[in-house]
Chain A
Amino acid sequence: GAGVSQSPSNKVTEKGKDVELRCDPISGHTALYWYRQSLGQGLEFLIYFQGNSAPDKSGLPSDRFSAERTGGSVSTLTIQRTQQEDSAVYLCASSLRDNSYNEQFFGPGTRLTVL
């Protein structure tokens, strides 16, 4: 079946503009994660959606970052007033259940470049 998809694959924007990144998880997966990965660096946790529970937003680096997940499926990560340090690959992952016992399936990522 289809894996996790993300759009756009690449996004170039000017400093100060807002951007929206989209994640389509695998159908039926109740858990969804957003990560940020700077060049050559590790996976920086941003936000975690777990079924119908309130999301864990503890990784969001500033109030310019927000995310929502509509209908328990598609998720959108929004970055307002982008800064050059926001440039990175943004990865989304989903898993079957929300008890963390299951494999996370990653999307291909969105490469964000802020000029």
Chain B
Amino acid sequence: GENVEQHPSTLSVQEGDSAVIKCTYSDSASNYFPWYKQELGKRPQLIIDIRSNVGEKKDQRIAVTLNKTAKHFSLHITETQPEDSAVYFCASGGGGFKTIFGAGTRLFVKA
């Protein structure tokens, strides 16, 4: 069945450094790749998404890249700040199929 693998499970960076989270997916029909951020005790919220006709998308300090051939996509956060500390979930979907979430990455940004 469909599967999304996410790495690393935990990531600790110094404030100001970059953080990269990587995901792979199995369903070649997937064409929509959202990323959600879940702060402690709160609900997940969409922070950025990318569709398969685009290789990269940026929004201020956040960028996502997609390699459809390799079925990889990544989240890049630059100039990390303590408020970036949260759990980040990647997901894949589209094509009429349900969205499948990765297991999550717990990001710690040390001040």
Task: Identify the A interface with B (CB < 8 A).
Answer: 33, 35, 41-43, 45, 48, 50, 56, 58, 91, 98-101, 103-104, 106-109
Q: In whole angstroms, what is the CA distance A86 to B49 when docked?
A: 32
- Are A42 and B102 interface neighbours, CB within 8 A? yes
- The A-B contact count (CB < 8 A) is 52
Interface 0/1 of B73-110, CB less than 8 Å to A? 00000000000000001000111111111111000000
- Are A100 and B98 interface neighbours, CB within 8 A? yes
Q: Give the size of the chain B interface in residues (CB under 8 angstroms).
A: 23
For the complex formed, measure the closest distance between the CB of A26 and the CB atoms of chain B, giving whole angstroms: 13
Task: Identify the B interface with A (CB < 8 A).
Answer: 1, 32, 34, 36, 43-46, 49, 51, 89, 93-104
Task: Please report whether the interface of chain B is mostly helix, strand, loop or mixed according to DSSP.
Answer: strand
Q: In whole angstroms, what is the CA distance A100 to B96 when docked?
A: 6
Query: Which B residue sits closest to A100, measured CB to CB?
Result: B93
For the complex formed, measure the closest distance between the CB of A3 and the CB atoms of chain B, giving whole angstroms: 9
Q: In whole angstroms, what is the CA distance A4 to B60 when docked?
A: 28
